[in-house]
Copies of this chain bind each other. A is one copy, B any other.
Amino acid sequence: MRSDTERTVRAILEAAERVLSRNPAAGMEQIAEAAGVARTTVHRRFASRDALVDAMAAWATRRFAEAVESAYTTTAPALVTLHQVTASVLRVKIDWGYAMSRTASDPEVARVHAEVRERCDKLFRRARDAGLISADADLDWARRVYYALIHETATGPDQDHDADALATRLVDTLLHGFGD
């Protein structure tokens, strides 16, 4: 792949994320314009609109997997790992919120998501065994809340804040709520 082409592909993917996260019904025209290329160029690189969205999902999923991979450990205390993973995921999801919310037809994407979810469950069980999460907590519900908090944080008005600070607030809320 020529350096030329790679730049264009990246520009299109990033523009598509910007445009579609604001307006999921936007057309190829608007995406092309945001990327600074002609509409035909988008079609040259991505056979169809669906192919483009799938490529976005694949790209975002790769970064997502990397983010989890780099932060996940079984050696550090569960609280530390939870914090690191959260911050790491937030950094990706702030930039690729639309692409990550698409459940692509690509089975590889689905596989990665399932794998991450499995890791999340493992981490939560470890946190429960460490006494961080209450012994009678519903871990399925806990995971759903955790995902919802990540989504809210990543799409909310705090996107310019430090990911570590956001993760601290998120994990604190997850573990203690707003009561005394």
Q: Which residues of A does B touch, CB under 8 Å?
A: 24-25, 131-134, 137-138, 141-142, 144-145, 147-149, 151-152, 156, 169, 173-180
Contacts and interface: CB of A to CB of B under 8 A. Distances in A.
Given A175-B177, A175-B178, A145 B134 contact: no
B176 A176 contact: yes
A124 to B, nearest CB: 8
Question: What is the count of identical protomers in the complex?
Answer: 2
A134 B173 CA distance: 12
Contacts of A138: 169
Given A132-B180, A144-B156, 17 more contacts: A24-B24, A25-B25, A131-B180, A132-B179, A133-B179, A142-B178, A145-B152, A145-B178, A148-B148, A148-B151, A174-B178, A175-B177, A175-B178, A175-B179, A176-B176, A176-B177, A177-B177
